[in-house]
Amino acid sequence: MTVRDPFAMTALDAVRAFRARERSAVEITRSALDRVARHDRAVGAFLRVDAEGALAAAATLDARLAAGDAMTDRPLAGAVVAVKDVLATRGLRTTCASRMLEHYVPPYDAWTVARLRDAGAVIVGKTNMDEFAMGSSTENSAFHPTRNPWDLTRTPGGSSGGSAAAVAARFAHAALGTDTGGSVRQPAALTGIVGLKPTYGRVSRYGLVAFASSLDVVSPFAQTVADAALLYESIAGPDAHDATSVDRPVERADLSRGASVLKGLRVGVPREYFGDGLDADVSAGLRRALDQMAAAGAELVELSMPHTSHAVATYYVLAPAEASSNLARFDGVRYGLRADGRDLRSLYGATRDRGFGPEVKRRILLGTFALSAGYFDAFYGRAQKVRTLIARDFTEAFAKVDVLATPTSPTVAFKLGERTADPLAMYLADVCTLPASLVGVPALSLPVGLGASGLPVGLQLIAPAFEEARLLTVAHGVEELLGRLSLPSLD
């Protein structure tokens, strides 16, 4: 291979260069750390960088390779990976971008973090996010906002905006985020990279600080579909620590087929995703991509998923209800921040008032109301029924097509501060990603070019449950057909 600057490599490039002894793991890691030092003050992707730990891990990889270990059992050896600050990292603070957990240092690694280490990845640091993963712009962090590397006046999306920005800025070859209602796919679209949400239950949630337990999925970001597949295959699989983890084989994507996979592929185009509210930039970019897919032999099948319009309302009953329950543990008694109070009740109130930001408080109140006596059936119970109807739409659609194609985000990256005073406008940023989350099926966002604004446009592909191999194979074909984006240099 032709060896380029390490920061310009994909994850697969870095792994191959390391194994071929063209670049040491320490060289690759130092390059990433130097780039972070030069540019992250402007971007704000990281909450903390673990330079000492990263270099020590890289030196261990180099020593093993020098000792004759072929590293065949370390598929990510040589790759630098960032981790969203909602995943536990042993000995390294995990704050969820909240004052509530500002000083929390976990005594263990999340399952996915342990799997990354086992695969040989060098973990460079913890990335910024919306507090407790509640938001779509990474402006709800208690510490600082993250900026989009394509335009520093704009958001990278959220809640996993720090991880998305880290990959788009090439501070890391890949990253982990979490996707509850679109928190990996939407920022992937806004930053011009690949984001994969696996099937619910495919990746363990052990060590993930929960937002909404029936929706949260640990998910990878990468520059390419091949890198996303590599990261996914490294973290997927059963885990006895997580009762929702599914014990079934992890099939590998067939990336050798390239764009030929599109010939004869039935691609569903749900009309409900292409209605009012879709930016002209996004609409034009998606239409060009779909036309090229059709020219390559795909059969575009227009269909209807009539309950799509209820997804936002359904999600914003169910997810806050689960958050209300999950975040009840943060009360000053056992976990995190503890404020003074004259009695137990005032201690609870003072702790939660000081520890939680406005958006987290808003969602806890929404969820508590939905679960309260007299309102449970009218809100939570009804939302669960609508969730079933949305799932039925997907079942009927997949009886007719192999994959679905939709916008990932209805807009390109929006300005920082543009929606912070309008929660509903912010919630609508995930209108295209919420249905797949409610149903638990795998979905992936990949860039399909730049709009007239010069900002990335994302295409969302959705497959049936546990068909990640199909999804990745098709996405790789689309990526080969349309070509990859050149990411911003920042220099």
Positions marked active-site: 84, 159, 183
CA distance 143 to 146: 10
* Rg value, the chain, Cα: 21
Cα 171 to Cα 38: distance, rounded to the nearest angstrom: 10
Nearest to 303 by CA among 267, 270, 265: 270
Q: What angle (nearest 5°) sits at the alpha carbon of residue 475, between those of residues 464 and 301?
A: 60
Q: Are the C-beta atoms of residues 270 and 406 closer than 8 Å to each other?
A: yes
β 122-127/80-84 pair status? parallel
Rounded to whole angstroms, how far apart are CA atoms 75 and 252? 13
Instruction: Pull the structure tokens for residue 232.
Output: 């996914």
End-to-end Cα separation, the chain, in angstroms: 25
Greatest alpha-carbon span in the chain: 71
215 near 438, Cβ under 8 Å? yes
Q: What is the dihedral of CA 55, 63, 78, 219, to 10 degrees?
A: -70
How many helices and strands, by DSSP H and E, does the chain display?
A: 15, 11
- Cis upstream peptide for 159 (omega within 30°): yes
CA nearest 457: which of 328, 323, 288, 330?
288
